[in-house]
Chain A
């Protein structure tokens, strides 16, 4: 089945450590996104990528980094510089071709807790 796979589902990190969240899609979508979901704040865009080897900062990129070496993969690293990393992280993908359905498809999320 086509879809987006995020792993792990739950992740615990010690303060001062970097941690990487995985996101893989087999929908042949060009665009991929990372969102952070906090109660009462909706989904805030961290980074997005339109094509391989290119990505752009979203609204809350500080303390995060990404890479896009393959079309299917868009891993997110939460660095020690992120001051409040405990959150639910959602990865999404969509096509970005003009005139086509730009509906975003979401993974099941990773809940990161800093201990």
Chain B
């Protein structure tokens, strides 16, 4: 079955620390990949997306993600986190030929001021 795995359920960092959240998806052909973020009390919003082209994708608020096809991975990174990055982050995939978006279980990030 098609699935998405996020490696960490909870991450705690201090401000200015670097962040990397892991995401792997199951093989299913060509994919579209997404990271969504849900800030406390707010609705889900798109952080960044990959459709084709440069496998290093830059999103909002200094986030980036790298698509590594051979590893079926799409890890999210940020060089220096801020307290305001405290949120839950979801990796998601859509397989070409299908259209439903499959989500990972989410990673709760808490950044200490």
**Chain A residues engaging chain B, CB cutoff 8 angstroms:** 31, 33, 35, 40-45, 48, 50, 58, 90, 92, 94, 96, 98, 101-104, 106-109
Contact = CB atoms under 8 A, between A and B. Distances in A.
Interface stretch (B14-22, B61-69, B94-102): B94-102
A42 B100 contact: no
Interface residues of B, number: 23
Contacts of A35: 103
Nearest to B99: A96
Contacts of B44: 90, 106
Contacts of A90: 43-44
Contacts of A101: 49, 51
B103 A48 contact: no
Contact of A42 (B45, B46, B90, B94): B90
Contacts of A106: 36, 43-45
Interface of B: 6, 9, 32, 34, 36, 43-46, 49, 51, 90, 92, 94, 96, 99-106
Q: Can you list the 3 inter-chain pairs with the closest CB atoms, starting with the nearest? A: A96-B99, A42-B105, A43-B103
A102 B99 contact: yes
A104 B43 CA distance: 12
Contact of B105 (A40, A94, A102): A40
Given A104-B34, A106-B44, 19 more contacts: A31-B100, A33-B100, A40-B105, A42-B6, A42-B105, A42-B106, A43-B90, A43-B106, A44-B103, A48-B100, A50-B99, A90-B43, A94-B101, A96-B99, A102-B94, A102-B99, A103-B46, A107-B43, A109-B43
